[in-house]
Chain A
Amino acid sequence: MMIPFGHALSFAAALFVLGLTCVLLRRQVIMILIGVEIMLNAASLVFVSASAYWQQVDGQVFVILLMAITAAEVAVALAMVVYLWRRKRTLVADEFNGMSG
């Protein structure tokens, strides 16, 4: 493997920005969640490349933990999606503005 560390990180950055774009651009709650997943995966990629770069095990351990946490997050998030759908019959994020000042 002859990849500069920076390139791996750049891939991760690109992935992260794509995820962010998804979160910002899309209005549907599902798509926003998908954007979050993408960003989390970008983080995983950084962990794994860092683990390889420094030849350490910790990065990979964190990826595993991250996945577990993501699973938990997704479980709750999707439950909330269902809940919201039941309440308002819509999943457009802008409809939920209860925090408006």
Chain B
Amino acid sequence: MTTVLFYILGFIMLTATLLCITRRNPVHAVIYLVAGFFALALMFYLLGAPLAAAWQIIVYAGAIMVLFLFIIMMLGLAPQETPEGPGWRRWGPLVLLSASLMVCTVLLIMQDPAAGKEIGDFYLAPQAVGESLFGRYVLAVEMVSFQLLFATIGAYLLGRPLSKGEGQ
């Protein structure tokens, strides 16, 4: 049952992402992406990572994507349909490239002996993750927290009004 569910969720995720990347309207794209992320979160859960699943929904779908939406709307990009260049000549090779990349990757993955082995049942309680985070990986956590701080400062500096002469 869970196996089937996993595959279904996987396809939902891929479909949603595909739709996302082909939308012209950024708002639509973000909406589709949020849908994909929901599916991904559920896959995390199926793989025994409830905490990651929760964070995926809360942080990604909830915070980050909303941030994207804010920016898109703030800048008023939504109604503007930006034309996508010379069409096939441009994206034909790229699609081909992507397809071949995908084929190559999948082939390479499948070649590996570990690829055939199945993933066993696994469940990791959030508590265990927390202990590991603030035990063994506390240094990484500190570093990431600093990074967040720097990002905040950077975002603040970038977000200041332009001084004279800095504009066009």
Contacts and interface: CB of A to CB of B under 8 A. Distances in A.
Interface of A: 1-11, 13-22, 24-28, 30-31, 33-35, 37-38, 41, 44-45, 48-49, 51-53, 55, 57-58, 60-61, 63-65, 67-76, 78-83, 85-89, 91-92
Interface in B65-101: 67-68, 71-72, 74-75, 77, 82, 84-85, 91, 94-95, 97-98, 101
12 contacts: A16-B105, A18-B98, A33-B68, A34-B29, A35-B21, A37-B33, A38-B20, A38-B33, A49-B119, A52-B120, A60-B51, A69-B147
A70 B117 CA distance: 31
Interface residues of B, number: 87
Contact of A31 (B26, B55, B71): B26
Closest 3 CB pairs of A and B: A6-B115, A72-B151, A79-B155
B98 A20 contact: yes
A77 to B, nearest CB: 9
Given A13-B109, A67-B55, A71-B63, 16 more contacts: A1-B3, A2-B118, A6-B110, A15-B14, A15-B40, A17-B101, A18-B21, A21-B21, A25-B94, A27-B84, A30-B72, A34-B21, A41-B37, A52-B48, A72-B144, A74-B67
